[in-house]
Amino acid sequence: MTKIMNYINNEWVEPKVSEYTEVINPATGEVIAKTPLCGKDEVDAATKAASEAFPAWRQTPVQDRIQYLFKLRDLLKTNHDEIGRIITRECGKTLGEAKAEMVRAIENVEVACGMPMMMKGEIAEDIAPGIDEIMLRQPLGVCATIAPFNFPGMITFWYLPYALATGNTYIVKPSEKVSMTMQFIFELIEQVGFPKGVVNMVHGAKDAVDSILDHPDIRAITFVGSTNVAKYIYRRAAENGKRVQAQGGAKNPVIIMPDADMEMTTQIVADSAFGCAGQRCLAVSLAVTVAEARNSFTELICDAASSRTVGFGLDEGIQMGPVISQTSKENIEQLIGLGTKEGATALVDGRGTTVKNYEGGTFVRPTVLANVQPDSEIWKTEVFGPVLSMMHVQTIEDAIKLANSHIYGNQASLFTSSGAAARKFRYEVEAGNVGINIGVAAPMAFFPFSGWKDSFFGDMHGQGMDAVEFFTQKKVVVERWPKEWSRKF
């Protein structure tokens, strides 16, 4: 069993706590680690180390700071497969999905290595006779990430490399459900040889989170999770004067036009809805068919759902793993049942799933619900599982109106062969990430990971220049050097 420890001031610190929570392989039911439930004392120690490290790290030239990131990038690439196996064991996704997650993490490190160009300031000479104006970007200080369970390797890297490259010091609080991945990554961080206190890790649950939110020396916080928790994080951190990025939940619609390539559309939508067992914030969860697209798409998506191979993600040929926990499985199955009670028809029902040789696993097979009713619980709620709800309308205008009526605005996708329909959709749809013939519109690392409405709380998003803006503060200098002064020296 993996022993989970904190990493503070470049030392592995055994937590002095009495409470632990189990890390369970969701495919087997095996307890593979125990996460210590740390609190204020450990957060204080990590913040103290990061605060003391900040002045020297800030003064380190940016071209020197990014050398550490180059080394980290190489170590992540060398250990790519091993990290993927750890993610699969504790998170449940397939090995291919886990390795793809780490490709995105590495891409963010690579983008942050361009920080000498990205954080340049601006200068305007002679805004008035003999007066120049300069805008500088300077780091904030100590920053922190509160990470989710569903992408235990990737999401921290939406933020950490940008924060470090811009001169901040950092604290990572991984999800207590999946602490092994970040523990291994911090073993690589230790090999990188960052100066003492620049990068720290503290494990825990709500007590650790609240300590991060309340600590006066932590200047900025990033979070990804459910909307209810995102609102809590945003409100409490903002009340304490911190910058906040809080990514919330989603109910991502996909609109299927009659002129779409149905074979391609079905494959992409199935991968989006059922990939990672539906446990990702960009998963398609609502399919809206327009006019005659209904019959052909319904038949094809049901075939795709019922034929998907479910099992332990390290086994050959597995297309979908388990959901994260027994509690999650029960919640998903209850929502499916409630959906049918509210008028939906379960064309493919994934409840009651067991997998041979993995009877202790928390599996839910792909599920397709037709005739989902507006304002039903399954329509309003983020299921966070492999469940695709279906609704039908007659026009693209009705489809966009339906998509925009939801409280969430994380992603929306359209499948069509019409350029006019595509332009109308991307212009009118109320979502931060938009896909045209794309099922998972995940932005590349040099674009921001967007989100609107109740899917995001804050201003600047993760990745790219948004991350640079978030982790720096602007200082504007207006200066005069009269010629008669300069002649004295």
DSSP assigned state of 444: P
Count of residues for the chain?
489
Positions annotated as catalytic residues are 281
Burial class (CB in 10 A: 0-12, 13-18, 19+), 124: exposed
Cβ atoms of 470 and 164 closer than 8 Å: no
Q: Please, are residues 237 and 259 in contact by the beta-carbon 8 Å criterion?
A: no
Q: For strand 452-453 and strand 122-128, is the pairing parallel, antiparallel, or unpaired?
A: unpaired
For 119-184, give the DSSP string. Answer: T--EEEEEEETTEEEEEEEEE-SEEEEE--SSSTTTGGGGTHHHHHHTT-EEEEE--TTSHHHHHH
Buried b / exposed e along 156-192 (16+ C-beta atoms within 10 A): bbbbbbbbbbbbbbbbbbbbbbbbbbbbbbbebbeeb
- Distance spanning both ends of the chain, measured CA to CA: 70
- Taking the C-alpha atoms of residue 269 and residue 285, their distance in angstroms, rounded to an integer, is 9
Beta bridge partners of 247: 224, 456
Token pair in block for residue 93:
């996704």
Measured CA to CA in angstroms, residue 25 lies from 96, 145, 235, 291 at distances of: 17, 24, 34, 44
Strands 345-348 and 367-370: antiparallel
Dist. CA 245–CA 230, nearest whole Å? 9
What the block records as the tokens of 54 is 């900040």
DSSP string, 231-265: HHHHHHHHHTT-EEEEE----EEEEE-TTS-HHHH
Tokens of 195: 């100066």
- What are the Cα distances from residue 294, in Å, to 285, 289, 389, 415? 16, 5, 13, 13
Position of tokens 């205008």?
397
Q: Distance of CA 183 to CAs 48, 75, 178, 180, 415, Å?
A: 21, 14, 10, 5, 40
Identify the DSSP state of 377.
H
